[in-house]
Amino acid sequence: MDLRPSHLARRFVALGPKFVTVSLIGTVITQSLIWLFHGHLGWNGGVANFVAVCIDIPPTYALNRRWVWGRRGTSSFTREVAPFWIMTFLGLGLSTLLAAIADAIWHSTLAVSAGNIAGFGILYVAKFVLLDQYLFHTTEGEPA
């Protein structure tokens, strides 16, 4: 694991555009579901956020693993799947808390969406580093 800022910057230049694209795809999916669940079906903001994020986890994991980091073959549950879910649930917990607070204060789907984005935004950089340096880390000679 190489946590030097220069190394992490090089890795982000190489993988960042794909990582950002996957994040944007996940954000569109999650936000669309929040607008459906909260804005149209009248669900509580925290519940709408929780369900939307849970639905988004499998495609986001698959896109990050295969497209961003070029990993093929069977996923390792202990090295890849479980830590990815744990990281996502940390973001989920924070975003659900912020979405529920926003809903209680403003009673607005826009506020619930902002809570979701804020929760995951806070953890965004840490997620890239953990995915790159631990979950989908490649050794010399392997595709990045």
pLDDT in tens, 57-89: 999 999 999 999 999 999 999 989 998 988 888
DSSP secondary structure code for residue 71 in this structure: -
pTM: 0.84
Contacts of 26 (CB under 8 A, 6+ apart): 56, 59, 60, 63
Q: Which residue has the higher pLDDT, 89 or 138?
A: 89
